[in-house]
Amino acid sequence: MATRSRPQGVASLLVVAAFSLVVSACTDQALGSLGRTSGWLAEVKPVPVTSTVVEADPVRSVAMVGWWNLELGGDPTEAPEEVITRVFLRGGDGGQFVQASPYEIAAALPGIRFPALVPGDVTSITSQLVYVPGRPILNPEQSAVFGMWTVEPYSRSRVVGQRGVLSVRPWNAEDEVTCASLSDTETIACESDFVGDLSVWRITDARGETWLWIEDGYRYDMFLRGDSTPAEAMVGSTEPLDALVAGPVAIAG
């Protein structure tokens, strides 16, 4: 049985007419009476997106961090007097703070320890010996200092780029270590506690927290800027400095 097809022109007119009716029905005025959404409108339902937030580890191995002055070389078994004098002369201007390698500091201060764990965002460690001004003698109040940086050292201000500082000096048994002696007008709180067998004092001020402990003949003052969560793990992880760095190596220059 033959089927008659509709003329092409008539079909086109019907399509145009139907489209016109839809457009006229969808004017702002027509949709306004329906409210912001309508059941007959084909809206795309948003698909909930779930994401997993991976938090950075609070600490990382010091083996993953670069020692800024490693290339200065040195031998941890060198006589303390020799290395102290040599580093002082390298400073040139008689200043208090002179860059020194961890090997040199280990020789100058035999038995000095350093945390095997550091804050997870630290990428570099600087190291200096600290002198009595103008003399080749280590300052008894602060003999060595280590800076823990989250950026290339000295490329930003310490407030921005330095996560923390560890200051070390020989321990004098006559020194009084109590919250009363450690507190000053800027101290917000001071507490004493234990990390393992170590007695630890925590001093809080507006800048952050300082953790203080005595270990193997040295006093350690560790200041952390911002979050102090890594501190306890750091204090409990200390090892002899010369065991944490490979050596000995040739002295630079």
Provide DSSP, 137-197. SB-TT--EEEEEESSSTTSS-HHHHEEEEEEEEEPPTTS--SHHHH--TT--EEEEEEETT
pLDDT tens string 55-86: 668 999 999 999 999 999 999 889 999 999 99
Are 91 and 104 a contacting pair, CB within 8 Å? Answer: no
Distance CA(200)–CA(47), nearest Å, equals: 52
pLDDT value for 14: 41
Q: How far, in Å, are 83, 85, 142 from residue 138 at the CA level? A: 11, 10, 8
Confidence label for 157 from pLDDT (cuts 50, 70 and 90): very high
How far apart CA 101 and CA 107 sit, in angstroms, is 10
Query: What residues contact 45, with CB distance under 8 A and at least 6 apart?
Result: none
Report how far residue 85's alpha carbon sits from residue 239's, in angstroms, rounded to the nearest whole number.
Answer: 26
Spell out the domain ranges in the chain. Answer: 59-244
What are residue 129's DSSP bridge partners? 98, 144
Q: What is the mean pLDDT of residues 11-15?
A: 44
Give pLDDT, residue 96.
95
Is the backbone of residue 137 left (phi > 0), alpha (psi -120 to 50) or beta? beta
pLDDT of residue 17: 45
What are 221-233's pLDDT values in tens digits?
A: 999 998 999 999 9
- pLDDT over 70 for what percent of the chain? 75
Closest CA to 140 of 113, 180, 167, 110: 167
